[in-house]
Amino acid sequence: MKLLLSGLLAYAGSFATSAAQQSGFGGQNAFSAYDDGLFTPVGDLSALSSTEFTTLSHPAFARHKVRVKQSKFCDGSVRAYTGYIDIEARHLFFYFFESRRDPDTDDVIFWTSGGPGASSSLGLFMELGPCRVTSANETKRNPYGWNDQANIFFVDQPVGVGFSYAEYGESVATTKDAGDDIAAFMSIFFEHFTKFKGRALHLAGESYGGRYIPVFASAIYDNNPRLIEAGLTPINISSIMIGNGCTDSGTMYPSYYRTRCEDPTFPPTDGISDCVRMKQLVPRCEKRYQESCVDKFDMIDCGAALEFCESAVGTTYRDLNNYDRARPCKGLSITECYPIIQHITNFLNKDHIQSLLGVDPVARGRGFQWNSMDINMAFWETLDISSFPAHYYIAALLERGIRALIYVGATDFICNWMGNEAMTMGLEWSKKDEFRREPLHVWTIKGNQIAGLTRSGGGLTFATIVGAGHMAPYDKPIESLELANKWLAGEEL
């Protein structure tokens, strides 16, 4: 799991204290301002300027403002927007693209990418956005962008990631703190651009998003009663979509042994003696993790348990791509395996691109970096990376009727399919038996082309994507888009 220190892992988060306090609900005075007609929505995105920001606010969210402008780039066939979520001295950068099919009726997707500390620009320009960066100087249209049938956000968070920044050095070090402003942002957006009110919202993310996204969704769900109390339209949170998530360390650590030595879909990557050694140590890892990080949380004992599990089964490959066992790549630097990441970095560091996007001078002076190691280390120091119980949030969302899709590129190692399947099979909610009794079966595209294995029940779907690694939409764009579109439409795989 320490490969996350340099990895491309996705993330999202939650409220640190009550949603009413964190989202800036100002009590009766704020509600009265809304009731008295002091709030006037912008109405339609087309009203936004392409040369300067329009500032959005709402009396029910006193601490939050949203700056947004049209930004004509990436794919000229749809309207694109960029801007900042301003929370006093903190500023989160975002992109928004309208749907290619029908922006007036299609659902909305919120996407966040990795790390913790990786910019969502990677998801946009490498995987599922309307275009891909092909060199430091140009992009090309991505025919398999997930805005095929959905409007989609890409947000750089937590603060300090990508073009997001804090004026006085504020930082975030836990999943719960990372997303404390997302519910307010979505509420302001939906209230101003009224055609989106009531539209289904799907929260999606990759890798570390396995921890972030369930908590984001929970924050939005829990905030809805306060929106109703304030006279606002509740957000129609419909589902979560997690790709190659590292959600539960309790199932992921044992899966490293299984993936290396017992994966029925891939040849063993380690020698017999190494596999025997790891097999003996797996029960000790599981026991120590359960006792020190789950049954109770003791910072020192849990840290020691994690160190033991790392040394026992968590060692990363030296001669294989840790994000895709089927595509050899020596070294731990992800940019060596995926040169497109360096292309994205160079592209977003060009002055005219930053000017077009409306990047603030502070962020421009700092320069774009695809991954913040300061954020990553901060999450390690709090043990959030290895001990936060995000899978409990998934189960709680399922209990409340929020659907969940867990999809995994089958050749990923670092957040592999075996660990994710074990996580889904261990979730506890009232309809768990509907899911557990279903056997894995093949799902296909184009009639009979095998795309992977899947299991569904009780609102939960687990799916693998054959031939894909950690960044599944990059490796298998056709299959990934088919999966996303079926999910949005509520169709079975």
Residues known to be catalytic = 207, 412, 470
Give strand ranges (E) for 126-196. Answer: 131-135, 138-141, 150-155, 165-166
Give start and end residues of each alpha helix (H) in 63-204.
Answer: 121-122, 175-178, 182-192
Burial group, residue 136, by CB count within 10 angstroms (0-12, 13-18, 19+): middle
Q: Which of 426, 281, 350, 376 is nearest to 139 (CA)?
A: 350
Q: Which of 237, 212, 215 is nearest to 225 (CA)?
A: 237
Query: Cα(36)–Cα(244) distance, rounded to whole angstroms?
Result: 47
> Per the omega criterion (within 30 degrees of 0), is the bond before 158 cis?
yes
Q: How many CB atoms lie within 10 A of CB 367?
A: 11
Q: What are phi and psi of 337, to 5 degrees?
A: -85, -30
Q: Which of 95, 103, 106 is nearest to 73 (CA)?
A: 95
Q: Tokens 């969940």 appear where?
A: 404
Query: Cα(459)–Cα(463) distance, rounded to whole angstroms?
Result: 13
What is the gyration radius of the CA atoms in the chain, in angstroms?
22
Q: Tokens 């969210």 appear where?
A: 61
The HSE-up count of residue 271 (CA atoms within 13 Å, CB side) is: 2
**Pairing relation of β-strands 403-409 and 236-243?**
parallel
Tell me the three state secondary structure of residue 454.
Answer: strand
Query: Cα(252)–Cα(257) distance, rounded to whole angstroms?
Result: 9
Give strand ranges (E) for 105-224. Answer: 107-112, 131-135, 138-141, 150-155, 165-166, 200-206
**Pairing relation of β-strands 403-409 and 460-465?**
parallel
Q: Tokens 């995000």 appear where?
A: 390
Q: How many CB atoms lie within 10 A of CB 35?
A: 13
* DSSP helix, strand, coil percent of the chain (3-state; round to 5): 40, 20, 40
> Per the omega criterion (within 30 degrees of 0), is the bond before 339 cis?
no
Q: Which of 395, 349, 386, 60 is nearest to 214 (CA)?
A: 395
Query: Cα(463)–Cα(417) distance, rounded to whole angstroms?
Result: 9
**Pairing relation of β-strands 449-457 and 460-465?**
antiparallel
